[in-house]
Structure 1
């Protein structure tokens, strides 16, 4: 609730569940990241996939205010959203440029990725009337997108000095984190640097060379080059297995109100399928979140070895008996609440600890950020005040409130 001269509630139109996003935490994280970089190294804030679920527009503005130099998105529609909301910073689109998109790139001042020689050939045939900035993506071992090294050198040789094609940058994408396979990362970097050296030997200077994402930024300072591309760290998380060498703040909290409370007695069942039978009297609360909001869901990955397979089997056995491994899905203050029965599409039952938890009590809910449903309203906070709200039907509102929020 709000704390000030009097208690204030969030606007009723957001409903009984929402995501709180602390933009001051985003700014703090950007400032911490910049401490790891030399003054000459630019910082690209990666805001793809709706800013990892946080809201690309709001995160972009916060990151830029804190010192980010450029933004990275995957598709032009993600870039268009930023431009429509008056974000004027340079934007690199990671998806390789398609000829039919040239007017959009030029009119909205997007920087294009040229990721194949076929696309490069098509670009050379286009009758461009205005300059188009491009970054060349080089395939150094991930084998997903990017020109082959020799193709990249040939393309630059053909367009260097072209008044309508400005080769502003060149980059590659590491297939693994350095902690997982440092030798392979070094091999990819060596291949990339051979391309850069070949270009420089021919007298071609490309201003922005970049290879590092969050993991490589932490492990490979000699690879920072002219710019780093950072997503995970900005959002308050470390890559798996990494030590916390800089402090980060978590900007993300999913909250929900308990909307119904009742007692269930021994022998009675809870939820779909009647899978869960109560053994002793229990007080339950219903929260308005479910698998449609990505609550209780996780990416399903194929096991890489026998140990992975064993872990998956054990997890499934636990789930069969109603035991969910990992961090608690629901908390009341700092107290974990047990989920009872199946998670429904939009409703879930939890066990309440005592009579203090009642209808209207607010719980914290664990939902993976990038999986989180866009139907969950986003509430943006700065200096402990709500400064904006984005609701599911796409509306954004900037609001001013008196009092502090907690």
Structure 2
């Protein structure tokens, strides 16, 4: 396979080195199709695509553009810095961020027409003090035990929001996050949805229009229509990955990222040859070893040692020996191989190659961490960086 020519990530073309030795290939056509597929599951709700953490490692700006092209009504990010980066790149659509420590520049958010989230009365006061008429959403903790106003904190936030509305502030939404949506039958899902409805009713009783109500993440979007409300937030599923590999669903999604590298070395070795640190693997017969020039310095999990496989010349081949900081070894058997040949660590799985989920299982983690954690010397390469099909 011939490696693709790297493309610049920002809107303005920039030069990158000619031929990468390792790259994560991001198929934006697949991403756009996933967005459209997910939007169709909640036809009466607006769709927010989540692009936090550099679009789960897929590249913030190209993915956000593709989301808008596919018809995403909203884009969601965690931090204000992420939101302002999107605005600086020209994004003008509805945009929400939700994670801010004290001292966040809410005035900059207001100037950029970024909606922010208040998770306590204290935080709402910070937002109001930063701008004359900010657009703010309220977050209630319905049981996740993470961000959001919990118990009496919610009552305090509702009272503060009612006073703020009287003073001219705009409350544009109320939302929460599910803890166990990737386990559709878990009793926490019913409990959290019921608590969310109670929280919305409490806000309405205080005379505050809740605006957009949203609770569903990717898993609930796919399996729990009662949680769709006015808006659904699709994160991991837009990248073609399941919220949990055991979660039952029949939604046709295509993994967006493929991780590839060029073999840095190829050698024929005899039976009995130890491979990599600690000789965790010893060859059982004469074989060909290929050196893949990435490792845990690029976010490839060392925990996958002895458990992962790659794809070469149309076949799965085992990753053998300890995965190192910047290299790993694959056993190519008797397959013809040369330096510079391409090996695929994971991809969509359509040709039989391992997927990011396979690597997650091998590493004892989740697919989110496999794709989000990539970096170092791995270059992002975006294919199909223009959508001729328009929006949904």
TM-score (norm. length: structure 2): 0.82
Aligned to 1:373, which of 359, 372, 375? 375
Shift of the alpha carbon at 1:275?
A: 4.1
Who is 2:86 aligned against? 82
Who is 1:140 aligned against? 142
Who is 1:359 aligned against? 339
Aligned to 1:337, which of 299, 308, 317? 317
Structure 1: distance between partners of 2:330 and 2:287: 10
- 1:107-126 map, 5 Å: 107-124=111-128, 126=129
Who is 1:171 aligned against? 175
Who is 1:46 aligned against? 50
Shift of the alpha carbon at 1:111?
A: 0.9
Structure 1: distance between partners of 2:97 and 2:18: 34
Could you say if the C-alpha distance between residues 97 and 70 of structure 1 is closer, same or farther in structure 2, counting changes exceeding 3 Å? farther
- Is 1:217–1:223's contact at 8 Å kept on the other side of the alignment? yes
Aligned residues: 351
- Is 1:97–1:112's contact at 8 Å kept on the other side of the alignment? no
Residues 1:63 and 2:56 are matched in the alignment? no
Structure 2: distance between partners of 1:100 and 1:247: 39
Structure 2: distance between partners of 1:237 and 1:380: 18
Who is 2:26 aligned against? 21
- Is 1:296–1:329's contact at 8 Å kept on the other side of the alignment? no
Structure 1: distance between partners of 2:249 and 2:104: 44
Who is 2:363 aligned against? none
- Is 2:302–2:324's contact at 8 Å kept on the other side of the alignment? no
SS of 2:81 mapped into structure 1: helix
Gaps of 5+ in 1: 299-318, 389-406
SS of 1:35 mapped into structure 2: helix
RMSD: 2.4
Deviations 1:75-109 (A, max 9, x none): 11222222222122222111046454122212222
Could you say if the C-alpha distance between residues 184 and 355 of structure 1 is closer, same or farther in structure 2, counting changes exceeding 3 Å? closer
- Is 1:97–1:113's contact at 8 Å kept on the other side of the alignment? no
Shift of the alpha carbon at 1:206?
A: 2.2
Structure 1: distance between partners of 2:237 and 2:66: 14
Who is 1:185 aligned against? 189
Residues 1:261 and 2:266 are matched in the alignment? yes
Could you say if the C-alpha distance between residues 107 and 14 of structure 1 is closer, same or farther in structure 2, counting changes exceeding 3 Å? farther
Who is 2:351 aligned against? none
Residues 1:35 and 2:52 are matched in the alignment? no
SS of 1:372 mapped into structure 2: coil
Deviations 1:172-231 (A, max 9, x none): 111212626532221112122112122323442222110110111122212211101110
Structure 2: distance between partners of 1:377 and 1:206: 43
Residues 1:157 and 2:159 are matched in the alignment? no
Could you say if the C-alpha distance between residues 9 and 227 of structure 1 is closer, same or farther in structure 2, counting changes exceeding 3 Å? closer
Could you say if the C-alpha distance between residues 360 and 9 of structure 1 is closer, same or farther in structure 2, counting changes exceeding 3 Å? farther
- 1:88-103 map, 5 Å: 88-96=92-100, 98-103=102-107
Shift of the alpha carbon at 1:12?
A: 5.0
Gaps of 5+ in 2: 7-15, 347-358, 360-369, 387-392
Structure 2: distance between partners of 1:209 and 1:292: 41
Structure 2: distance between partners of 1:8 and 1:123: 46
Aligned to 1:242, which of 231, 242, 247? 247
Structure 1: distance between partners of 2:28 and 2:116: 28
Shift of the alpha carbon at 1:355?
A: 4.6
- Is 2:296–2:325's contact at 8 Å kept on the other side of the alignment? yes
